[in-house]
Each structure stands twice: as C-alpha cells, then as structure tokens.
Structure 1
C-alpha cells in the first residue's frame, strides 16, 4: 500500500484519451474551487480538495503520447475534446503500457503504436507512490483492464474502473482487493448528467408514478475515438450490458429483451467529442392509456465523465486512509453504471454522504429511508440477471 502521507491524492492514469484530458484539465480549472463554483458535486471530499490531486504516472500505447509530458499528451493524437483549461507541464512523462487487446480494429487504423518497450507498471506505481490507478482504456479492452487491475494489486494501489469491463462486479476480483486491503470503485463511470443517468431517472419516475414501461430505447451517437472504437460491435457486449442494467435495474419487473435497447448506435466524425442521445420511453398509464416520452440530450462527452471521476479518485483515497478494502458499495452504486450492488440513486447518495461525513453509512440513513428499500445485486458473474435482496446496511 502507498506510503504517501502528505495529504495528497497521488493518481496514475491508464489510457490518455479524451476522458483523461478532461480530468487533468479539470484539476487545473478547479484548483481554487469553493462551495459556490458550478460543475462540481464536491469541492472537498474527506478533507481532500481538488487541488490535492496530483498526477504521478500515466500509461498509453500511442506514439503521439508516449514520452510526452502529460500536459502535452492530453491534447495529442486523436484526442478531440474541448480545451477549457491550459495545463502547465506536470513533469510526468507518459510511459508505454502493454497493448494487449487495448487497440481494436478501427482504432488500429488511426493510432500509430509506440515502438518503446512496455514498462513494469507495478514498479512505476510503487516508485511514484501512487494511491489510486484510474482505468480509462478503450471499451472492450478485457485483457488490458485485467492486466492493470493486477498491477494495482501488486503495487498496493486503489483502483477506479471507469469502463465496462467488469472487475468490481466480479466476486473473484472483489475478494482479491478486499484481501489486499485495497479499495476498488467500479464498473463503468456514470456521466455527470449523461444519457444513462437521465434514462435511469425517467425509468424511476415512471415506476414511482405507477406507469408501467412497455418499451424503451436509448440511441447514442458521437464523433470521438470511443465511438469509432465501438463500431467494432464485438467490443460492445459489456457496454450494452452495463448501460441496459443501469436502466432496467430500477424496475421491479422485467421488460422483454426485444423491447429494450440501450447503447451506442453510430460514429459521426464531425460531432468530435459531442454526443447526442435520443431516449424514448413508452408506457401504460392510468386506465391502460398509452404514455410516451422522447428526449434529446447533447453533451460534450469527456468533461461529463470527468466530473464524476474527479470525485471517485478522492473517495478511493478516503477509503484507503480508513483501511477499507474491497468494492466500495456506495461510491460504486452512485458513481458507476454497473456497480456490484445496484441501489436507487437517492438512497446510494444518502448512504455515501453519511460515509463521507466520517462514519459508516448505517442505521440512521437506513431508518430515514425505510429499511425495506430494494437492493439489487449488480454483479455479472451469473450473466445479466439481477437478484433482488433485502436491503442490508453497509459501511462503504
């Protein structure tokens, strides 16, 4: 485990794409943030201000990024997100990680791989005393994500898994992080106000108001390298599972698979890092009368993600400070699409805030919200089925 005791959150990043760019810019942009500033859920978490986040290591495979200062690499290669903050040189050079399955067919057409030899990632994490490793690799990078999870375990580093390769959602991985006394938050980051969290809220609204959802769809298009990568449909299976479960898990009934579609639909290059989401929900209201809702959401994709990641890394560090290992239930439930255990967002937020306030999320929060609140096991070891259980208070 990291020996860092200087009140900083020392962060390593795997994958220096658009999301990493927005995160690094955000730490600069919000270094003097106060309660009144817009765009943040928390300016301070467990005593850690955004200015306490330090980037100490970075890994990528692209020739345009490897060997460059992190401040340069975040705007290099195929990165095309907005530049909202000028980042000064960090002194952190991007190092060559292993490629494995991190570059798919369509990314391989545009990304020139670095000829440098891959570094010993675990040793770099030890040498830099990294507290938290963030996984921001491309969707579908199963072997590469598992590799970086192994390196976090070997180096004694917390792990934040921002993509839909299921690590926190697998009991064997959770057990290993718990045994090592290392926290993990995952899987698949929710955006600050993104298509999936919006779709999920609509589903909750229909549920709470007694309208039965008959059919629903969410079609996302974008122009960044993430959407280019997802043209390779073989890399999409976990992404579609993650986004679909995030929506359907809030319902007390099943919707036939043919009546649900939630996922990426196409790549439109001129959109660059903008994403358009088209959501349609069809339901049956009072008297069996049909009710339909359509919404279009347009966002800049990567800053929308970074607004959540900037909290996740600090929550991971708070857990490390408190000696808590394993999957962080409430952080994962509130910040991730496919957490180990699905909870309603308001409930997860209340439990998380109770934990961040300095104590376990337990009796008080449960009593306020009634102990019978549903809990759904979001672990995907048994396919996509979700098991309804009685709500049990937890400490994280």
Structure 2
C-alpha cells in the first residue's frame, strides 16, 4: 500500500516535471514545484573511480556573442534565459569556465535526462567490442527474445541506435501525459514495468527508413546490454565506463520497481563527471593510455551517412522544429557544417557538447521550461563559447 501511494505521488511529480513544452509553460505555473534533478524512482549507485581523472582549473566567465534568428545574442543572456543550473567549459583538459546557479554546486548531482541516452549507447559499443554483442546489424530479438512478435521483432540494433526502429511512438509533446516518454515514465512510476511496456510495441514504419525520437528505443538498448552481458546496465556502466573513465563521484541510475534500469534517462551525476564523459569522446575513447571505448565506435556514433539522419533533415514535416538544427548518430545529435561537433541533449536543457576541432567540451544543466524551443539555439551558444576561447 505504501509503495502504491508513493507511486501515485511520483506519478503526479513526473507529470508536473515533464509537462514542460512552451505551451504548458505559457499557460501558468506547474501544479507542483519543478524538481527535475531529484530522483522520483528507485536508484542504483554507480561507484566512482578510485583514481579520478584530473580536471584542473576554475577559469572565469567567458564573454561570447553570436547571431541567432537574425538577432545578436550573448552567452550570459542565454544562460539566464534558459535557466542554467551549471555551466562547465573544458579546453585542453582543464576547466576554463565553471559556474553554478540557484544554490547548486560542483558537488550537486544533476539528472541527465536524455543525455543518458548517449551513455547507454556507449555501453552497447563496449559490449560489441567485448564480443558480448555480435554487431549493430544483429536484431535486438537475438538478445531479447521477449520482444519477438512485437514491433521490435527483427529490428537491427543499428536502427534502434539511430531512432529509426519503426516503433510507433509519439514523443513530440512532453505536455501530453498520454504520449511518448511522459506516458512511459508516468506508467513506470505507477507500477507498469518498462519491460511490459516495451512488449506492447507496434510497428509504424519500416525500420531504417525514418528518424523518430523514441525513448523506448533506448530502454531496449539497455535491455539488450543487460541480456547480452549478464549484468544489469547500471553494473556494466560502472565497470566499463564510470570507473575506467575516472569519474570522481558516484552516480545514481534510476530503475523501475521491477529492477530494470531506465536507460533512456536518469543518470544523476555531477557536471564535472558529465564533462569527463564528454572528454572520453573528445579523446577518441581513451583515458590516458587506456582505450575505454573503441575509437571506431566514437566515430560511428558521431557520424551518419543516411540521408534522413543528416542535419536539417530529421523532421522534414516540421522544418521549423529545433531538432532540424541537428543530425543524428548513435544517440548523439550532430552539428552541421565541417566543424565536426556533436551534442548529447536532455529535456529541460541538459547538454554535453563536444568539439574536437576546438578541443572543447561544454556541460550545461538546466531547469528550462522552454528547452524544446531553446534547443535550436544551444549549438550556436556553444560554438560561440568555443570561438571566444580562440580570441
């Protein structure tokens, strides 16, 4: 009875937290306080490294300007307008700008939200390198037999990574409690396991033909990792990513009431450790002299050749959408042009930006009620920040 009561409270909390589209924000205050960085589900502790990767420096606020939608803007205004709660800039493996807002600090854990998708996808790449998973061309049902007969039957891991599984899933309106990850998460905290929800999947389009952002895809990737390796995703991430990458503090990873790790979000970690994850990719998967993530996986994750995954082509039916400022790889958002930059993105304004050309990683965590609208601007602000470091 107590768990059911807590589930009901959590259900209300997540509904309030995720109802954050521009239209929802414009209609008035949310019914409950916005606490996006507080777990509202059970968590597993992901232990820190015994030998943290050094991240020296403190820096000072970077002054940057840029043009977006015909208007001259500043980094300082963007951070204020998008309700930033942390902002960490790392160049040449040293912190050159670190700021916290609204009472948060370097010791605070922030919810990754969908930034966690990039972490889960990294676990897939490591499992392939270890031979636990054959290749991205294997069907997910080779590892998760319970998905046979569902919309995921026979779908390649590659297409799930690309958000092109063909699964019927509408994640276009976070304010609607009946759709997408909002509905998935509400049902999860109310007691319907993520496994049971995944088994409800129906096919909408042929796999590998259309990009459709879908948090259930990432849960399935985490489930594949767990089945292929024989370890919970949280344990595998701890042993293969968190500790080898030299994370300084433990993280918390959310799971449902049956113990399945959420995978599509809900890695709670410090801004500096999120920066260390970005550095892992910046350095082609290496930490010092240790190859933690295969270099080829880093490249494959942050590039794509499929026309429908290219920048400005993700949502041809909605050309004005912020998503169209990006392309998509293996659970990473890709910048346009020849800069070669890419971003992990989470609702409410969570980002890990990586620019190999500039040797820069930027982390921003936020409580941004207009994050969908501001997502299009983010890459302009981050590029301007990197440009300012060269002056």
TM-score by length of 2: 0.26
| Higher RCO by CA contacts (8 Å cutoff, separation 6 or greater) | 2
